[in-house]
Chains A and B, each alone.
Chain A
């Protein structure tokens, strides 16, 4: 059935270890992990994946559920794998008609699809454990140096945080509209792919109408409540980095970096 799963970008109201880590440290760790996912390959990447999985298991994030709920990611990873495996020149290890898999193709395919999956896991771990508002605060705090260059950082982060907040709503709306269109003849489960693609339009149009209207209303509502934004805005819960957070992050980064030695 449509939409009975967790989705990427969604915050998980729960109380895991990672929920308590300062969002700025998490953002930094995610940036570092992203870089490492692209730098590492072979055993180092495998070990890094192990480290990440270990961390997520210790934190008791429902990792499998997340991965299961992302069929698109699997499709992308699979296509990446196939393209690499079949199209990379090298020593042929298997062939059928004009199709052949090479050894470099196979290892490249595994590498690239593995990187995609790891990136998704890393990002999902961040958004699942960090409420959108905190994430925006973290970004604002991290981007602070840019404001000396007259970049309106708070505008950017407000936009980011509102977007993040709205993602679950938009998903819920799109599910509802999908059902509404199914009730009047649209067929999203048809075997005919062309038809399924065509029937997306009846979902997208009402969705856009809603989103734009909601955005308009939100702007008016924020105005009406005298939202001014800017540097002087205060916070109910200012961010604070505890020593445990810092220590944990340092240990994680140290472990991740030491994998270079592999």
Chain B
């Protein structure tokens, strides 16, 4: 098989102080293909962030195994190698920022890998641009004196600067304004196209990733309920509703229109939706 990252019955339990542990992942299995945008969706506390950290090699599964490029990730050296291939944007940007200026912070990762000089400059610039961060305006500022959205962009740039083969993003759309979300969506599409990278987006809010993702994994209480293509998930509104999640309204609209005989459209394009609605209503617009 050609998958790049796969999980085989992966379980993870957090140790609790004293005896006992809290199960956060229960026998989760799926595969992520090269160049795919894979979304992990689930309500609060369903284990998404834990899963993201397992995928990035930061938490070792307490059961089951993780495979990268068909090889089992086992032992310290394999784990370290995995961390170099997989980049993870944490749910809270504050955990990742530390340097006295944004520019130095973005440069931290590549510097750790030994990148220096003009090459370093270039990767910092490229990453900031991809993340939608204006380096001229923010490069010299302290990461702690930024707004939430600016901070998230800075943290994202710090991860992108490593140009990972697999990019794992934990709630990347939360806290971004409309411009930020559209920019991020475009940037991710571009990153995947240019680098052939796989992207795993972890979220409880489907609207942002809906147009991007090829497949969706739905999680609840640490278990994987199903992996579905976008078209299939569009019909699962009730199932998601029961979990406390929601399909984007326009995705529901597009599906209803298709059911009424309209040609399939890109649901995130309002004009196309309007045309489809018009065609269903007999040419009236």
A residues lining the B interface (CB < 8 Å): 1, 4-6, 10-14, 62, 168, 176-177, 179-187, 189, 199, 201-206, 209-210
Contact = CB atoms under 8 A, between A and B. Distances in A.
Contacts of A205: 98-99
Contacts of B18: 6, 12-14
Contacts of A183: 56, 58, 83, 87-90, 96, 159
A51 to B, nearest CB: 25
Interface in B65-85: 76, 80, 83
B285 interface: no
Which 4 A/B pairs are nearest by Cβ-Cβ distance? A185-B112, A185-B109, A205-B98, A183-B88
B108 A185 contact: yes
A62 to B, nearest CB: 8
Contacts of B158: 184
A182 B58 CA distance: 7
B95 A185 contact: no
B94 interface: yes
A221 B187 CA distance: 40
B59 interface: yes
Contacts, number: 79
Chain B, interface size category, equals 20 to 34
A9 to B, nearest CB: 11
A185 B110 contact: yes
B19 interface: yes
Contacts of A168: 17
27 contacts: A11-B17, A13-B17, A13-B18, A14-B18, A179-B53, A179-B58, A180-B90, A180-B96, A183-B58, A183-B83, A183-B89, A183-B96, A184-B108, A184-B112, A184-B158, A185-B109, A185-B112, A185-B113, A185-B162, A187-B80, A189-B76, A189-B80, A199-B112, A205-B98, A206-B94, A206-B96, A209-B144
Contacts of B53: 179
A114 B18 CA distance: 25
Given A14-B18, A179-B59, A184 B159 contact: yes
A219 B87 CA distance: 36
A219 B17 CA distance: 26
A6, A180, A181, A199: most-surrounded residue (chain B CB, <10 A): A180
Given A179-B53, A183-B159, A4 B15 contact: yes
Contact of B95 (A12, A176, A187): A176
B197 interface: no
Nearest to B58: A179
Nearest to A171: B17
Contact of B96 (A4, A181, A201): A181
B88 to A, nearest CB: 4
A6 B95 contact: no
Given A4-B15, A168-B17, A183-B88, A209 B112 contact: no
A195 to B, nearest CB: 8
A205 B90 CA distance: 16
A180 B170 CA distance: 12
A202, A203, A210: most-surrounded residue (chain B CB, <10 A): A202
A66 to B, nearest CB: 11
B162 A206 contact: no
A10 B15 CA distance: 13
A5 B213 CA distance: 38
A1 B96 contact: no
Nearest to B53: A179
B11 interface: no
Contacts of A185: 108-113, 162
B60 interface: yes
A98 B158 CA distance: 51
A184 B58 contact: no
Nearest to B17: A10
A209 B100 CA distance: 12
Contacts of B56: 183
Contacts of B15: 4-5
A187 B111 CA distance: 12
B98 A206 contact: yes
A13 B94 CA distance: 30
A205 B94 CA distance: 10
Contacts of B19: 14, 62
A184 B94 contact: no
Given A183-B87, A185-B109, A202-B108, 20 more contacts: A13-B17, A13-B18, A62-B19, A176-B90, A176-B95, A179-B53, A180-B95, A180-B96, A181-B98, A183-B58, A184-B108, A185-B110, A185-B111, A187-B112, A189-B76, A189-B80, A199-B112, A201-B98, A202-B98, A202-B99
Nearest to A195: B112
Given A14-B19, A189-B76, A202-B108, A184 B96 contact: yes
B60, B76, B112: most-surrounded residue (chain A CB, <10 A): B112
B121 to A, nearest CB: 17
Contacts of A184: 87-88, 96, 108-109, 112, 158-159, 162
Nearest to A168: B17
